[in-house]
Structure 1
Amino acid sequence: MPFPKWTELSGKGGFEAIGGSIPKKQEKNTKRRYKMLRFKKILAQLVIIVLIFSMIAVSNVSTVAAANVNLNDPVFDFNRILFVKHQPYPDNKGTNTLTGYSEQHMIDQYFGFNGVPGGGIFILNNAFSGTKSVTNVLANSVCTNGRYRGQKLNESTGSFLSPDLSYDGKQILFAYTDSQRNSWGVWNERTTYHIFKVNIDGTGLTQLTDGKTNDFDPCWLPNGNIVYISEKRGGYGRCHQRIVPDYTLTTMNPDGSNQRIISYHETNEWNPSVDNNGMVIYTRWDYVDRGATHPHSGWITTPDGLDARPIALNYPNSGADWFRNKPLMTMSLRAIPDSNKYVAVAAPHHGQNFGSIIIVDPDIEDDDNLSCIKNITPDNGGYPESGNGSLDYATPYALSEKYFLVAHDPNKTSINNKRTGIYAIDDSGNKTLLYNDSSISCQDPIPVRARTKPIEVTISSAPAGSPPDGVVGLANVYDSLLPMPQGTVITQLRIWQVYPKTTPLATNPKVSYESTESLWAGRNTRGVLGTVPVESDGSAYFYLPANKCVFFQAVAADGTAVQSMRSDAFIVGGQGYLYCQGCHEPRHEAPPVGRAEPLAFHRAPSKITPDPAPGSRPMSFPRLIQPVLDSKCISCHGGNRTPDLRKGSVSSNGWFQSYENLRPYVFLFDSLYAPNANWDHVYPRTEPGRFGAKQSRLYPRLAGGHGNLTAAELHRFAIWLDSGVAPFYGEYNNTSKQLNGEQVEPILD
């Protein structure tokens, strides 16, 4: 008979054959065989279970080992860490009374009325041991001067920001505000950040700045002075429907005296620090004729603001996804010891200073992409806003090219619930928690120890008896990254001044065509300061008025621009000089060995020849262009032929109908070079010969004789089109006077 199938009946001692019975002896042998098979099966299962648990255990050991930083490395040769308790402001901070909405933006985190109450300046003791403790530096500190004289800073209702430690490790700089969050959007002494200093033991608390402007991000300079960010420059952001002041680099003496603006850049700057060569590195929103969400890159300048230059990624490549998966903001730049590299945060544009930790290597040739940048925190998921990155890291401090102190939130929580702690990390993704506070974020870790002071970069100054203007030297205008059109001969440099915005809302007034693309679209008003000659070898040498934000254009013999800056430059009063090798020259190339000294340098500096056209400074369409249309054009283009070039009634944009109708005939940066370009995403590099008058539909017709314009009249159209934005208004105020063709001077220049 066939061998029966057996089943064990739960709760019974015997066996049954399915479908019949068997003899007792056969049953006994079968039971013995079954028990042996069952024992082997259980033994095999036990072996498998042991192996699985062993593998899990080994895996856990490896994970723990991989997750911890080697704190025995010699770079951890300190035991105390200075840090600040500072909570990022929530994204539901309240409704903007001007616009009816709330907003997260890179700028707002530094307005004192957004400061979340609570926090302070602290020191973590025995940072790498099991016996950690925390000292509140300001626990018993009473201010020795100013408005807070005899008082303590309120750690319950005030907010603290951005500490920095002196080179000898004895004094702390930081910013503080009374916060006054019930006064959102109000600028006064109690709603703005001010800078203080205090000894490491809490004595000598001194107020250094005060007033109705925000002062923050203080940093010790090697000469003992202080560089910081301040709203003292004046002006407002150009893409906000709310009050957003500009703030830029400023310096002062260690006692708060001699507060001096060293950056006349027309938009915002952040987070200065000093690199190993004594230079100031910081972040700039480079926004002249660029998209609003253009990446804000690292910049470098001298301690007195001389010759500011981008470090990397200021001209991101074009293409369908040209602004994707790139750092939109390179924030919190700090030098890495014994290295030319910098550590930084890749932060979002619409958000606060959190994101991925990156290494920026300026020694690598910038490919307008990511050649200079390495993300050492891939667990963050990429770059915030431009990719899939989250806001997990902040405020790095480099100990070496491998090890760093950072603020970190491993839980990937929203900005509302974020609680960053102080961590040690390495460039392989390992991390060790050193300290956290479940009630508030901890940021800006700095080792408490003396550190080597960088060299003191010589502060430049004009020679005795020099005019108040500075001197600009250009070695060779033809030395450019992108080639000039074949046969180009440059005869002049045209110097444009861009004016900071003096009205707070983005499209009030609508300055130029881009203003119609969005409520947040805005361009600078501007004016032609004039021209200076360029020698046959491409050199120029000229005086430049101090404390004015300018850009340069290379102009051909026919009076049209061939190349143009999409950034700005300036000379700070008393600075002396500004030197340029070329016109967007390759950053890592030096002048050829043996090249003759530029011809222009053999003579006295040129004085700027003012532009003769009425309405060129500031550039005003009603004053510059409309008179020519009235005298030469409307006899044909007076309603019977397209375009109609009569003034007509003022449109809803605040413009003449002639200006509205000329739009298809001008060149705009937001309509060329890159797919899907618009006011927000504009390819930032000017290609020689492919912009302005030369690229427009209007100028070639006029230059060919259409309209029978005089040379002076043709020149008016050339500079209007070469301006890059073909503006209507030349100043943000007094629009009614401008509509009447009156000269209106800029309020802030």
Structure 2
Amino acid sequence: MNDSLSTQTIVTISFFRKGLPVWYSRRTRIAVSTLALLGLAIICNTPTVMAAENAEVAENAGAAENAEAAEGAAKISGPRAIGPIPTQGPISADELGFDEIVFVKRKPYSSDHYYTDINNGTSPDRFLPENGIYVYNVRTGEERAVVTAADLPGGKGFLGKLSLSFDAQKVLFDFRQDPGSGFRIWEVGIDGSGLRQVSSPPADEPEKVARWHPSWHTDDIHPCYLPDGHVIFSSTRSEHTVLCGGSSHLVAPTLHRMTADGKDVVQLSNSPVSEFCPVILSDGRVMYHRWEYVDKGARVGKTFWAMNPDGTGQTAYFGNMHGGIAMLDAKPIPGTKKIVSAFSLGHGRPEHLGHVSIVDPS
């Protein structure tokens, strides 16, 4: 078990046991906790918010500096369930309601904050040829590769997040070829055909690099299909930084929109900090994670916002006054107004480590 793929699998499964929603069903586009597939726990739909008691959260964080964040996590109002919820055994494919799951398998991010995935989160040892997008059949237990870094420029690289098309025939994903290049958005058919690069570096990339730092580059990450055929994504083209960091950091992406062929890129927001993980709500709006600490401390702002697909109507969606928690990777639960999310600590643990939480914004 010393080869890179085995190590990767061990790390990933260990991470899944913490309960983060990182797989998406091909038929329903609902976020599914891997814990359910492993028979370790289920996502419960009864609490308004699932959170952990102070001691358990602090233990998971593994750092005394997060004690304040842990205290904030436990003070969220509403019922809460503590720890994993045991099941009688693995959930069957019939109970799940779909046959296949598309997911990213790779080395985990090495970032120290959730927003540094795009720089120190992808250290050189994480660029591997076997990193890729795979499909798992829940009935047969078989796994097949859709695309791996070996199929992409350079023959190895790092894949971040994916978005499944509404007809379940295509996948968008962000890919970084090597530490000296930026993330770009790619698309591939679910059968592995039609691999193509969607986003390209902006025309003024050389000027931007000269302005900031020779090692700097723009990054296009977290793509999401829009119902009208466009693509919304997060990008550092806005050249923003975190308010508590120097200008050389430039790690605060904002939401952008482009056509399906990567043209007509438009910046949708002028948020002073960072916006990540856009996803489509049932009412057609785009929900996303935003770090917003206007009139707040630095530990109080990683919450959910929503906007129209054209960037208008930006407003807080949930959690704007809940401190000590980074609410990340949210997905709507079909047929309800609820969302499922990873609740991580402080500025977000590596790979958004935390508790799977179900939130009812109403």
| Same-fold call, TM cutoff 0.5 | yes
**Distance between the aligned counterparts of 1:203 and 1:209, measured in 2?**
18
Taking a change above 3 Å as real, the CA distance of residues 141 and 278 of structure 1, as seen in their structure-2 partners, is farther
2:98 corresponds to which residue? 78
Q: TM-score, normalised by structure 1?
A: 0.33
2:127 is matched with which residue: 96, 117, 123? 117
2:318 corresponds to which residue? 312
1:269 is matched with which residue: 275, 292, 295? 275
**Distance between the aligned counterparts of 1:218 and 1:65, measured in 2?**
34
2:193 corresponds to which residue? 203
Taking a change above 3 Å as real, the CA distance of residues 173 and 350 of structure 1, as seen in their structure-2 partners, is closer
1:312 shift after superposition: 2.0
1:393-425 per-position Cα deviation (integer Å, ceiling 9, x unaligned): xxxxxxxxxxxxxxxxxxxxxxxxxxxxxxxxx
The alignment partner of 2:302 has SS state of coil
- Asked if 1:238 is matched to 2:240, the reply is no
2:113 corresponds to which residue? 105
1:347 shift after superposition: 1.5
Within a 5 Å distance, the mapping from 1:539-554 to structure 2 comes to none
Taking a change above 3 Å as real, the CA distance of residues 179 and 340 of structure 1, as seen in their structure-2 partners, is same
2:332 corresponds to which residue? 335
**Distance between the aligned counterparts of 1:227 and 1:68, measured in 2?**
38
- Asked if 1:137 is matched to 2:146, the reply is yes
Query: Where in structure 1 are there 5+ consecutive unaligned residues?
Result: 1-63, 92-103, 143-151, 181-189, 317-322, 364-749
RMSD between aligned alpha carbons? Answer: 2.4
1:350 shift after superposition: 4.7
1:474-505 per-position Cα deviation (integer Å, ceiling 9, x unaligned): xxxxxxxxxxxxxxxxxxxxxxxxxxxxxxxx
- Asked if 1:346 is matched to 2:343, the reply is yes
Amino acid at match of 1:120: G
1:154 shift after superposition: 4.6
1:203 shift after superposition: 1.3
Within a 5 Å distance, the mapping from 1:134-533 to structure 2 comes to 134-138=143-147, 152-154=152-154, 157-180=156-179, 190-211=180-201, 212-240=217-245, 243-316=249-322, 323=323, 328-348=325-345, 349-352=347-350, 353-363=352-362
The alignment partner of 2:224 has SS state of strand
The alignment partner of 1:66 has SS state of coil
1:90 shift after superposition: 3.3
1:234 shift after superposition: 1.8
Taking a change above 3 Å as real, the CA distance of residues 68 and 288 of structure 1, as seen in their structure-2 partners, is same
**Distance between the aligned counterparts of 2:331 and 2:224, measured in 1?**
11
1:89 corresponds to which residue? 109
* Aligned 8 A contact 2:104 2:133 in 1: yes
1:277-300 per-position Cα deviation (integer Å, ceiling 9, x unaligned): 111000111122421222311111
* Aligned 8 A contact 1:217 1:272 in 2: yes
* Aligned 8 A contact 1:112 1:192 in 2: no
**Distance between the aligned counterparts of 1:109 and 1:201, measured in 2?**
28
1:113 shift after superposition: 6.8
Larger Rg: 1
* Aligned 8 A contact 1:121 1:137 in 2: yes
1:256 shift after superposition: 0.7
- The alignment-based identity, stated in percent, is 27
* Aligned 8 A contact 1:330 1:347 in 2: yes
Flag the structure with more relative contact order, 1 or 2, with Cα contacts below 8 A and sequence separation at least 6. Answer: 2
* Aligned 8 A contact 1:113 1:192 in 2: no
* Aligned 8 A contact 1:139 1:202 in 2: no
Amino acid at match of 2:190: I
The alignment partner of 1:232 has SS state of helix
* Aligned 8 A contact 2:233 2:255 in 1: yes
**Distance between the aligned counterparts of 1:299 and 1:354, measured in 2?**
21
**Distance between the aligned counterparts of 1:205 and 1:296, measured in 2?**
34
Taking a change above 3 Å as real, the CA distance of residues 350 and 275 of structure 1, as seen in their structure-2 partners, is closer
* Aligned 8 A contact 1:111 1:214 in 2: no
What is the number of equivalent residue pairs in this alignment? 256
**Distance between the aligned counterparts of 1:195 and 1:108, measured in 2?**
18
Amino acid at match of 2:288: Y
**Distance between the aligned counterparts of 2:120 and 2:225, measured in 1?**
22
1:417-458 per-position Cα deviation (integer Å, ceiling 9, x unaligned): xxxxxxxxxxxxxxxxxxxxxxxxxxxxxxxxxxxxxxxxxx
1:255 shift after superposition: 0.8
1:674-718 per-position Cα deviation (integer Å, ceiling 9, x unaligned): xxxxxxxxxxxxxxxxxxxxxxxxxxxxxxxxxxxxxxxxxxxxx
1:434 corresponds to which residue? none
1:251-291 per-position Cα deviation (integer Å, ceiling 9, x unaligned): 11111111111111111011000011111000111122421
2:24 corresponds to which residue? none
Structure number with the higher strand fraction is 2
The alignment partner of 1:304 has SS state of coil
**Distance between the aligned counterparts of 2:273 and 2:220, measured in 1?**
16
The alignment partner of 1:136 has SS state of strand
Taking a change above 3 Å as real, the CA distance of residues 296 and 204 of structure 1, as seen in their structure-2 partners, is same
Within a 5 Å distance, the mapping from 1:600-619 to structure 2 comes to none
**Distance between the aligned counterparts of 1:228 and 1:213, measured in 2?**
13
**Distance between the aligned counterparts of 1:158 and 1:72, measured in 2?**
33
**Distance between the aligned counterparts of 1:140 and 1:342, measured in 2?**
32
**Distance between the aligned counterparts of 2:334 and 2:186, measured in 1?**
27
The alignment partner of 1:163 has SS state of strand
**Distance between the aligned counterparts of 2:333 and 2:221, measured in 1?**
23
1:235 shift after superposition: 2.1
The alignment partner of 2:237 has SS state of helix
* Aligned 8 A contact 1:112 1:191 in 2: no
* Aligned 8 A contact 1:112 1:214 in 2: no
* Aligned 8 A contact 1:227 1:252 in 2: yes
**Distance between the aligned counterparts of 2:162 and 2:315, measured in 1?**
26
1:69 shift after superposition: 4.4
